[in-house]
Structure 1
């Protein structure tokens, strides 16, 4: 499976690249290919030092769209529109949203767009793409702790049943993550809202790497 990460130079994007590239062909994307190359080189060096296999390259965000089977949007929700406006060729693509729009103050609060969730907003912006929400509630730091096991539950939402199955297979290929079918894309608002809740729990209880498990 060929997976491209738009915004692949951020903490979550790099962590996903580290994890996914052990079993899939992964492309790290950025507005500037030089920045993507630096992140790619750092990830490759990390995986070499751990003697882990990988298939990892760098490109622009547009290169990610052009060359990937699955396109992951790992960008801040406030930059989504400008990112979409810079891209072409997303029609028919399987697109994964892991964005969690939040307001940050004394505590974290879910701040969805008028569509109801970031995933629904992305689907409105990309009406001809197959948008799936997944990976929303995995702690950013845990993505990058490559020597540690990831064993969280991952809620997967989408209106394209075949696309949802493909993304669930992708989830299950990473460490010990467990993909769960959470229903249609309309449920993504509930899933996204879990992240600020989890962050608040970690903050106010002095806990680290709080995740979500469904048993």
Structure 2
């Protein structure tokens, strides 16, 4: 599978590492405006930057699996999400990209846990995926099958709301140093 990642930060690198570990090809897009996109596109940018990506690449995103890793928090206050209470960043992105298959994923993980494959150095890192497109989730699960991550189908795109709240809680705990950036929540099966 070919994967394009918007962004070049820690999350982008950690996600790419896992795709590459299973033989997938990854390319990055920064601020250039004429990149060719792969079949899977990962939005590893802050939520406020998503609209710019969509405005520049809307036509190219048609028919693609678009993975939204954002947590739409108010970066000024760190005290609220900036999407409707009954919605999510992922559902807003799906509305803007009706011909794409939006999948929420990786937003409940820190880069360190994606890089190491462990939460707190002990519990396997679990990536939760939410989407209305079962085939898109299945393709991502298959593409990451042999990497250190455990990838779980968390349900429909409606579950993105809970995933974003969960990611927000985890980030606020880390900022307050209640947990480390190598820690977080884990799922034991």
User: In structure 1, what is the Cα distance between the partners aligned to 2:141 and 2:158?
Assistant: 17
Map of 2:139 onto structure 1: 166
Q: Does 1:195 align with 2:163?
A: no
31, 35, 41: which is aligned to 1:71? 41
User: In structure 2, what is the Cα distance between the partners aligned to 1:100 and 1:121?
Assistant: 12
Map of 1:11 onto structure 2: 10
Higher relative contact order by CA 8 Å / sep ≥ 6: 1 or 2? 2
Classify 1:200/1:70 alpha carbon distance in 2 versus 1 (closer, same or farther; 3 Å). same
User: In structure 2, what is the Cα distance between the partners aligned to 1:186 and 1:120?
Assistant: 8
Unmatched segments (≥5 aa) in structure 2: 119-123
Map of 1:26 onto structure 2: 26
Larger Rg: 1
Classify 1:182/1:204 alpha carbon distance in 2 versus 1 (closer, same or farther; 3 Å). same
Deviations 1:104-161 (A, max 9, x none): 4565433325871111111011100111111111112344xx5x33322221111111
Unmatched segments (≥5 aa) in structure 1: 33-59
Counterpart secondary structure, 2:106: coil
- Give the TM-score taking structure 1 as reference length: 0.74
Map of 2:121 onto structure 1: none
Q: Does 1:179 align with 2:179?
A: no
Counterpart secondary structure, 1:181: strand
